[in-house]
Amino acid sequence: MTGHIKSDLEQVKEIYENENKTKDERIKQLEELNIQYNNYLDSLPFGSPVKDIIIRSDFGYRKDPFTKLSSFHYGVDLHTSYREPIISSGNGKVVWSSWLSGYGYCVQIKHPLGYKSLYGHLDQINVKVDQNVSKGDTIGLAGTTGRSTSVHLHYEIILNGNRINPNKYLQYFKVEMLVDSLKI
């Protein structure tokens, strides 16, 4: 990844320093590069699948609500209202859209770089397998299907087949927001 970032930075530098182009031409090239970069970021599961991020149960060991024994929770449970829209956290292709054991009605989306996002306990599924979805598309409605004690969204991030803590992926920003905050 470092090599990819370095080549992007070198490309920005080349555009910026190219004296054979007018300032307007260089700005247009930089804007196009920024659009490509943001489209790429939008394809990764960076962001929240729900309107407000309120974590009801975190990733990691917890007391299982059914067995009362300690067990590992492979995602986060996010507070939702019944039938609240659940949105895709990134562009991708739907690889699962059906009932899945303890998850109830569930959607799984494949993203680039080995990422997948999983949305469980849905009341309704709005997408089909092999369908392409965009970041922000409604993929289903929140519910309490499967092994669930109340309405919520069970959300997982899977990287190269391993479930990872989704907490750091719930917050998302655009490059423009970072630049604006730095007042460059």
Distances (CA, A) of 12 to 3, 90, 181: 14, 25, 20
pLDDT of residue 175 exceeding 50: no
Mean of per-residue pLDDT scores for the chain = 86
What's the CATH number where 124 sits? 2.70.70.10
pLDDT of residue 85 exceeding 60: yes
Backbone angles phi, psi at 132, to 5 degrees: -85, 135
Query: What is the rounded average pLDDT of the residues 144-173?
Result: 91
Contact yes or no for 95/108 (Cβ under 8 A): yes
pLDDT of residue 95 exceeding 90: yes
Beta strands at 162-164 and 104-110: parallel, antiparallel or unpaired: unpaired
Residues 35 and 78 in one domain: no
Question: What's the pLDDT at 4?
Answer: 56
Residues 36 and 61 in one domain: no
**How many domains would you assign to the chain?**
2
Give 45's DSSP letter.
Answer: -
Query: 92 pLDDT band (50/70/90 cuts)?
Result: very high
**Cβ neighbours around 138 below 10 Å, total:** 15
Question: What's the pLDDT at 162?
Answer: 96
CA-closest candidate to residue 97, choices 85, 109, 107, 112:
107
Question: What's the pLDDT at 1?
Answer: 42
Three-state secondary-structure class, residue 41: helix
Residues 79 and 166 in one domain: yes
- Among 62-71, 83-92, 158-167, the range scoring the smallest mean pLDDT is 62-71
The DSSP element (H or E) to which 115 belongs, if any, is strand 115-125
Query: What is the rounded average pLDDT of the residues 23-48?
Result: 84
Residue 181 lies in a domain: no
Query: 15 pLDDT band (50/70/90 cuts)?
Result: confident
Per the structure, the complete domain to which residue 6 belongs is given by 2-42
Residue 63 lies in a domain: yes
Question: What's the pLDDT at 105?
Answer: 98
